[in-house]
């Protein structure tokens, strides 16, 4: 078998090297992106494609510092209510239209005003935008809003060609025209998205690839098979079990970076009639007992080969926003049992809603077995993703296993989930606490990071003991690529930035 493999490999090498000469990068995605309009888009995987198509006003570094992209610099007024951005000159959109203050204003206003915009909520704090000159914009805020800059490093900061956006309207996503290093060529739904190098890109000298094909291949085994057989150069979301093997394979390079998001258990505390029957809602000691019955390290070892990052907050222990004074609690079954006794409910029966994919279910079965030792009877109810949204919103669950892909600013992982004004499908616990609410508002309007950190700590103290959500772990973005690809830098947002990538 080995010799056959080597022979086949030799053939493949010949094939692949001819592809490499063409600087054509083929990326395997775990899902099919949704609509390719930065204003309307909503999926994580879509953001991967946008990072080659659409440049943003500002970007982040791997350690989450803000750096210029289409804006060359920014200043914030003392009252924190005005952000002034200087724009890069000589930038053109893919259709040849110039990028300037008017285009930037247009793009931001499109995000704000277009019906059905998914960006509006992210930058709703913007009250008006002015263009004092052709390459300066002033963003005025109704009140200070600390997460604003972070929002502009993502889709809300993506600039679109006003001409194309006007012409295509809500069909812009079928042929996006932005100012990124690559321009849109074609999309075959569920098959591929092809982009090619944009020769007038402002940073053209650092763009080495000529063409990128994104191929959505949902089955992780098949995605990996494509990498191994040479039909793909880079794949994202490798399974932890495969990752361990790939690490040993000299033909491939791997990378792992902790996500910005989290995986956790949402507890229905006050959402609808479901909360009244929920034993976990009756007494916070029962919630504490549930957390104490869990061994996060063991979950990580059993399901994820120890590759992921256990956690107990909405940001990972590696984040600068992590509250070190509130570390991950150790498993304590005896104490959990005692708490259940004290609460007068030694064997609570809990309805446990879990997405119906095999990995979530493996996690659920481990949790079920752990909680059982403390006396819990968790009844796993597998639910399709599409159904679970509505059930979560209506509170038809006791315990809900949920993943959040994460935002650069920690507020994006928190406010909507434990804040009183969080959308019902996100704050499905219907947790609403006066003190927490006050701190959340303070955190958003604070200007300095140190000040925000204090408010976050207050939120953490309260929510980690009230437990509307038990945070469990943070995934790692596991990628693998052929050794021919160089220049890949890992970002905690999991995206693939294509400037600087090169095929040898």
Partner 1 sequence: MLAYLSRRLLFVVPTLFFVSLLIFTLQQLLPGDPAQVMAGEDQRPEVIEYLRAKYHLDQPFPIRYLYWIGGVLQGDLGESIRIGRPVRDLVLEKLPVTAQLAVMAFLIALLIGIPAGIVSAVKNNTVWDYAANAVALWGLSTPNFWLGILLILLFSVELGWLPASGYVPPGEDLAANLEAMILPAFVLGNAIAAVMMRHTRSAMIQVLGQDYVRTARAKGLGERVVIVKHALRNALVPVVTLGALEFGQLLSGAVLTEQVFTIPGFGKLIVDAVFNRDYAVVQGVVLFTATAYITLNLLADIAYFLVNPRLRS
Partner 2 sequence: MAVAVLDTLPAEKSPARRALGRLLRRKGAVFGLVVVAIFVAVALAAPLIGPADPSATNWSLIRKPPSWEHPFGTDELGRDVLGRIIWGARASLLAGVVSVSISLALGMPLGLLAGYVGGWVDGLISRVVDGMLACPFLILAIALAAFLGPSLTNAMIAIGVSATPVFVRLTRAQVLNAKVEDYVEAARAVGNPHWRIVLRHILPNVLAPIMVQATLAIAAAIIAEASLSFLGLGQQPPEPSWGSMLDSARRFLSQAPWMAIWPGASIFLVVLAFNLLGDGLRDALDPRQH
**Residues at the contact surface with partner 2, assessed by CB under 8 A:** 219-221, 239, 241-242, 245, 298, 301-303, 356-359, 361-362, 364-366, 368-369, 380-384, 387
Cα 297 to Cα 473: distance, rounded to the nearest angstrom: 9
End-to-end CA distance of the chain: 29
DSSP per-residue codes, 328-368: PPPP-HHHHHHHHHHTT-SS-EEEEEEESSHHHHHHHHHHH
| 382 interface partner picked from partner 1, partner 2, none, CB below 5 to 8 A per type | partner 2
Among residues 298 and 420, whose Cβ is nearest to partner 2? 298
Among residues 371 and 480, whose Cβ is nearest to partner 1? 480
| 364 interface partner picked from partner 2, partner 1, none, CB below 5 to 8 A per type | partner 2
Helix (H) or strand (E) segment spanning residue 240? helix 240-248
| 393 interface partner picked from partner 1, partner 2, none, CB below 5 to 8 A per type | partner 1
113 touching partner 1, by CB under 8 A: no
Give whole-number Cα distances, 475 to 80, 246, 403, in Å: 34, 18, 9
Please pick, from the candidates 229, 276, 341, 504, the single residue that binds partner 1 as defined by CB under 8 A.
229
84 touching partner 1, by CB under 8 A: no
Helix (H, G, I), strand (E, B) or coil at 304: helix
Please pick, from the candidates 14, 21, 222, 489, the single residue that binds partner 1 as defined by CB under 8 A.
222
CB neighbour class for 364 (10 Å; exposed up to 12, middle 13-18, buried from 19): buried
Cα 255 to Cα 477: distance, rounded to the nearest angstrom: 8
Shortest CA distance to 120 belongs to which of 155, 87, 96, 75?
Answer: 155
221 touching partner 1, by CB under 8 A: yes
DSSP per-residue codes, 53-79: H--BSEEE-TTS-EEESSEEEEEE-TT
A 10 A CB-CB count for 90 gives 9
Candidates 168-176, 309-317, 327-335, 437-445 — which segment interacts with partner 1 by CB under 8 A?
168-176
Binding mask 408-437 for partner 1 (x = CB under 8 A): --------x------xxxx-----------
| Closest distance of CB 379 from partner 2, Å | 11
| Closest distance of CB 321 from partner 1, Å | 20
DSSP per-residue codes, 152-171: HTTGGGB-B-HHHHHHHGGG
Please pick, from the candidates 20, 103, 215, 496, the single residue that binds partner 1 as defined by CB under 8 A.
215
Candidates 104-112, 212-220, 294-302, 434-442 — which segment interacts with partner 1 by CB under 8 A?
212-220
Helix (H, G, I), strand (E, B) or coil at 98: strand
| Closest distance of CB 155 from partner 1, Å | 10
**Angle at 471 (CA atoms; ends 379, 382), nearest 5 degrees:** 30
Please pick, from the candidates 404, 456, 477, 491, the single residue that binds partner 1 as defined by CB under 8 A.
404
| Closest distance of CB 388 from partner 1, Å | 8
Among residues 199 and 219, whose Cβ is nearest to partner 2? 219
CB neighbour class for 357 (10 Å; exposed up to 12, middle 13-18, buried from 19): exposed
| Closest distance of CB 260 from partner 1, Å | 12
DSSP per-residue codes, 185-231: EEEETTTEEEEEE-TT-TTGGG---SEEEEEE---HHHHHHHHHHTS
| Closest distance of CB 7 from partner 2, Å | 20
| Closest distance of CB 417 from partner 2, Å | 25
Among residues 35 and 303, whose Cβ is nearest to partner 2? 303
8 touching partner 1, by CB under 8 A: yes
Among residues 204 and 372, whose Cβ is nearest to partner 2? 372
Q: Which residue ranges make up the site for partner 1 (CB under 8 A)?
A: 1, 4-5, 8-9, 11-12, 32, 34-35, 37, 40-44, 115-118, 120-122, 170-171, 173-174, 188-192, 215-219, 221-222, 225-226, 228-231, 384-391, 393, 404-405, 416, 423-426
């Amino acid at each position: 078998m080995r010799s056959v493999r080597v022979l086949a490999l030799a053939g493949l090498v010949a094939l692949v090297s001819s592809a490499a000469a063409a600087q054509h990068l083929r990326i395997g995605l775990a899902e099919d992106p949704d609509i390719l309009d930065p204003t309307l888009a909503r999926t994580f995987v879509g953001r991967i494609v946008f990072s080659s198509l659409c440049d943003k006003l500002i970007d982040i570094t791997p350690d989450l510092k803000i750096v210029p992209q289409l804006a060359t610099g920014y200043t914030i007024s003392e009252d924190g209510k005005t952000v002034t951005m200087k724009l890069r000159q000589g930038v053109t959109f893919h259709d040849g239209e110039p990028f300037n203050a008017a285009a930037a204003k247009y793009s931001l206003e499109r995000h704000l005003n277009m019906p059905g915009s998914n960006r509006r909520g992210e930058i709703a704090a913007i009250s008006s935008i002015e263009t004092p000159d052709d390459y300066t914009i002033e963003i005025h805020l109704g009140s200070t809003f600390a997460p604003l800059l972070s929002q502009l490093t993502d889709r809300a900061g993506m600039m679109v060609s006003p001409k194309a956006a006007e012409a295509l309207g809500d069909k812009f996503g079928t042929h996006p025209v932005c100012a990124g290093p690559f321009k849109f060529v074609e999309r075959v739904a569920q098959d591929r998205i092809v982009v090619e190098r944009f020769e007038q890109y402002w940073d053209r000298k650092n763009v080495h690839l000529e063409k990128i094909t994104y191929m959505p291949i949902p089955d992780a085994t098949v995605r990996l098979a494509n990498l191994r057989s040479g039909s793909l150069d880079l794949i994202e979301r490798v399974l932890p079990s495969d990752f361990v093997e790939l690490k040993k394979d000299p033909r491939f390079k791997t990378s792992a970076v902790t996500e910005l998001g989290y995986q956790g258990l949402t507890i229905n505390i006050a959402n609808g009639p479901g909360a009244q029957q929920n034993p976990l809602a009756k007494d916070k000691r029962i919630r504490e007992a549930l957390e104490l019955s869990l061994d996060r390290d063991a979950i990580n070892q059993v399901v994820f080969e120890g590759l992921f990052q256990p956690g107990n907050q909405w940001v990972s222990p590696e984040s600068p926003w992590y509250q070190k004074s509130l570390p991950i609690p150790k498993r304590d079954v005896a104490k959990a049992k005692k708490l259940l006794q004290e609460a007068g409910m030694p064997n609570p029966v809990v309805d446990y809603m879990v997405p119906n994919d095999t990995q979530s279910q493996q996690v659920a079965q481990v949790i079920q077995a752990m909680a059982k030792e403390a006396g819990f009877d968790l009844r796993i109810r597998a639910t399709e993703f599409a159904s679970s949204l509505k059930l979560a919103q209506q509170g038809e669950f006791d315990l809900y296993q949920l993943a959040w892909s994460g935002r650069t600013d920690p507020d994006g992982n928190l406010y909507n989930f434990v804040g009183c004004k969080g959308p019902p499908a996100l704050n499905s616990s219907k947790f609403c606490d006066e003190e927490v609410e006050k701190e959340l508002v303070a955190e958003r309007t604070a200007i300095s990071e140190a000040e925000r950190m204090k408010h976050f700590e207050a939120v953490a103290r309260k929510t980690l003991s009230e437990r509307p959500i038990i945070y469990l772990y943070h995934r790692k973005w596991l990628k693998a690529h052929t050794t021919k690809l160089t220049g890949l830098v890992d970002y905690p947002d999991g995206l693939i930035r294509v400037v600087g990538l090169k095929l040898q």
